[in-house]
Amino acid sequence: MKNKKVMLMGFVSALMLSVLLSPSLVAKSDTSQEEESSRLQSLAKFTKVLGIVEEYNVDSLGVDQLIDKSLQGLLSNLDAHSNFLDKKSFDSLKSQTDGEFGGLGITVGMRDNALTVISPIEGTPADKAGIKSGDIILKVNNKSTLGMAIDDAVVLMRGVPKTPVDLTIVRKGEAEPLKFHIIRQIITVESVYTRMIDTNILYIRVTSFDKKVANDVKVALQKYAPKSKGIILDLRNNPGGLLEQAVELTDLFVTKGVIVSQKGRNKNDDTVYSATGKAMMPDIPLVVLVNEGSASASEIVSGAMQDLKRGIIVGTKTFGKGSVQVVMPISETEGIKLTIARYYLPSGRTIQAVGVIPDVEVDEGEIKKHDNKFNIKEADLKKHLESELEKTTGMVDVTEANATNKTIITKEQLSKDIQLKEGVGILKALIISKGK
């Protein structure tokens, strides 16, 4: 035990020395003696607690384990998105960055200390199983998520493709927890896809902001925009992604002004992103769809469009993630993910914990239709003008005729998505007002 104490004290002494000689501290030559004394006292307190835990904890833990747990506690208590990445978490993050991994297809975050689904990724096992934005994950394979770090929960949900995961979900409006049995699959996501509505409205769906999003949207605009009178940009259940892609996407539609800025404690992290003045579609009527699953980069795009008066935002209030994280390696196999700044929209308002409130708030759902069999129309009258009816004989509803065409959104599909239908109605009004 004495040797272990000597090792521990030697380790902590080295730690204290490295802290005192760190570049940030050496640069602060005017740091008062009181502050240095306070720092030493704090490190001494840490040393004492570390020694007590090592000696008396019911389970025997080595110094490496204790330090890792200390770092985990330190980072996770800063905010919901900062954390210590041990080898397992670090490898998991790399696999996510590579863009292909075995999992369920959901983005999660912490809300009120509960592991919450930000959004299911469209077309993935979680989406097909019925997981919804706002669901609280109570258990993963019978392991409670209470007090569990996000990365630990992610590790549990990821794994070998074609293996099962059981989730216990708490959902608003449901009296009892829901259970989902989901089979992991390789997660590959189509980030951008397009459809046409009524032959002259271009619908662009962006599911996440990966490194190709802005270019894919640009290609879609080049292909479809010449015959389009308006655009629906659907960012619902988009958990975000790369900041530069959000900026580049917005830049396709706005001609001038600040798109987003980030401000941190370190002035070197302060950055302002502005429009380049090379917008492809600066004037075409635009509606942006959002919901509570729209987060981070999605909120930057929708918030910028709103502040710059470039489009009408339709849907429900967004998630409210307006912070910037960076991954800093501390060794070849470990690192930390740290929040270094906050995002601010063109008007100067923050997204963090506030989100973007739509211009037109519309809850999700379907349009209920009532079949009024007893209504009488002109065509039902005995002496109606049949010659006019003959002129229209043989005409077919183009939208319904293409019901099986995946490049078109039909009237029936619109009726099942009230947010999209409302967005189309608003867009048509914008088109008329602009004389398009």
Closest among 242, 241, 237, 244 to 259, alpha carbons compared: 244
Active-site choice (296, 298, 302, 323): 296
CA–CA dist 286, 244 (Å, integer): 21
Verify whether residue 302 is a known catalytic residue: no
CA–CA dist 63, 228 (Å, integer): 64
CA dist list (Å): 175 to 135, 170, 172, 333? 13, 9, 8, 44
The phi, psi pair for 254, rounded to 5°, reads -115, 145
Active-site choice (76, 307, 323, 337): 307
- Across the strands, what pairs with 338? 326
Q: Return the ∠ at Cα 81 (arms to 168 and 85), rounded to 5°.
A: 90
CA–CA dist 116, 134 (Å, integer): 6
Evaluate whether 362 touches 314 at the Cβ level (below 8 Å).
Answer: yes
Q: Other C-beta atoms within 10 Å of 157: how many?
A: 20
CA–CA dist 404, 193 (Å, integer): 17
Q: 74: Cβ–Cβ under 8 A, 6 or more apart, which residues?
A: 84
Closest among 410, 415, 388 to 399, alpha carbons compared: 410
What distance lies between CA 214 and its chain's CA centroid?
16
Structure tokens at 197: 């509505």
Evaluate whether 407 touches 195 at the Cβ level (below 8 Å).
Answer: yes
Verify whether residue 119 is a known catalytic residue: no
CA–CA dist 276, 274 (Å, integer): 6
Structure tokens at 113: 């200390």
Structure tokens at 422: 């409302």
Verify whether residue 415 is a known catalytic residue: no
3-state secondary structure of 231: strand
Q: Other C-beta atoms within 10 Å of 189: how many?
A: 15
Structure tokens at 219: 């290609």
Residues marked as catalytic: 296, 307, 321
